[in-house]
Amino acid sequence: MDGKKVTLRDLALQAGLSVNTVSRALKDKEDIAAATRQMIKDLAKEMGYVGNALAGSLRSGLTKTIAVIVSDVANPHFGIMVKEIEKAARKHHYTIFVINTEDDHELEERAIYTAIGKNVDGILICPSQRSADTIRILKKNGVPFVLIGRRFEDEPEFDYVICDDEKGGYLAAKHLLESGHERVLYLNGPSRISSARERLAGFLRAYRETGLPVREDLIIEVEPTAGDTRKIVKQLIEQKADFTGIFAFNDVIAWEAVYVLQKYGYRVPGDYAVIGFDNIQSRMFLPFQLSSISNSKGKMSKRAVDILLHKINHPGAKESYRDVIDTALILRDSTKPSGRGDG
């Protein structure tokens, strides 16, 4: 059989059974004896048989594939989420493929058309939020989808799974303020992103509770992808900006801020306290221990897959999903609770 694709008929001839019996055995149908099923599976492996997924999808109407569209696959946060999504999908015999958009509207639109063109059964997407038009493409085409990590508040038909961003922003700012850091630099994501707006709302709530004035000049938007933060923090240090704590929109931004501070000879937490968001170090063990807000990436990913599969398997269902997963403050070496005399 070398050089020629092995077919079901080849398997059946070798096993001395009908094509239908072989097919049902490979699908683990219980009307075929367990010993026969195992024998046929072993034979299929030995002969190098690969099932025709396209033929199966034509019969069932499902391709058993899910597209996962994310903004920055280089960010470990998304890498961890993709892994969790793959694990959850695999349990239901689904395969995923990942498309990276670099938080770019045109790339996101292209990714959506690519996924639809490949006849995926559903899509999980962390939208760039430059426009809702790309998501409306999915609605118009009837493709089941779930937003993950971000939401469109004014689009009630868009199902989502997010974390409690407002609470996360509140917990981070509250800890820094209670630790004596009255002047906190907030390196936030772009305001078009729902999670950036909600984390800022929590940050401001913590300030209101203390009665301390908010320093608007210390609330700065940076792009969530790598590179932008280093330039901004460098400028602030050279301008001798007056802050002692930093809260960052994500851990990558926080690590970049720490990198610049250390390049200038400052100590973290000795001179500055820093808190990130995403708690990447729950899965990655790095020498610099960063305090962060945990957003339960595993729970978010599993829940998003469960909702998507329900939508795929029940296309007429009318349920709406607005799931918000809890957040928590995880303290590590980059912050310290002692009040500062210059706070």
Looking at domain 8-51, its CATH class is: mainly alpha
Whether 63-163+297-325 and 8-51 are alike in CATH topology: the answer is: no
**Domain ranges across the chain:** 8-51, 63-163+297-325, 165-295
Which CATH number is correct for 165-295, 3.40.630.10, 3.90.1150.10, 3.40.50.2300, 3.40.50.720?
A: 3.40.50.2300
Query: pLDDT tens digits, residue range 102-129?
Result: 999 999 999 999 999 998 999 999 999 9
Query: pLDDT tens digits, residue range 258-286?
Result: 999 999 999 999 999 999 999 999 988 88
- CA 223 to chain CA centroid, nearest Å: 17
Cβ density class 117-147: b for 16+ within 10 Å, e for less: eeebbbbbbbbbbbeeebbeebeeeebbbbb
In this prediction, residue 60 carries a pLDDT of 53
In this prediction, residue 219 carries a pLDDT of 98
Between the alpha carbon of residue 130 and those of residues 104, 122, 248, the distances in Å are 8, 22, 21
Is residue 111 within 8 A of residue 327, CB to CB? The reply is no
Q: DSSP state, 317? A: -
Query: pLDDT tens digits, residue range 211-221?
Result: 999 999 999 99
* pLDDT above 70 coverage of the chain, percent: 93
Average pLDDT, the chain: 91
Architecture of the domain whose range is 63-163+297-325: 3-Layer(aba) Sandwich (3.40)
212 has which bridge partners? none
The mean pLDDT of 163-185, rounded to a whole number, is 97
Residue 342: is its pLDDT beyond 50? no
Query: pLDDT tens digits, residue range 192-213?
Result: 999 999 999 999 999 999 999 9
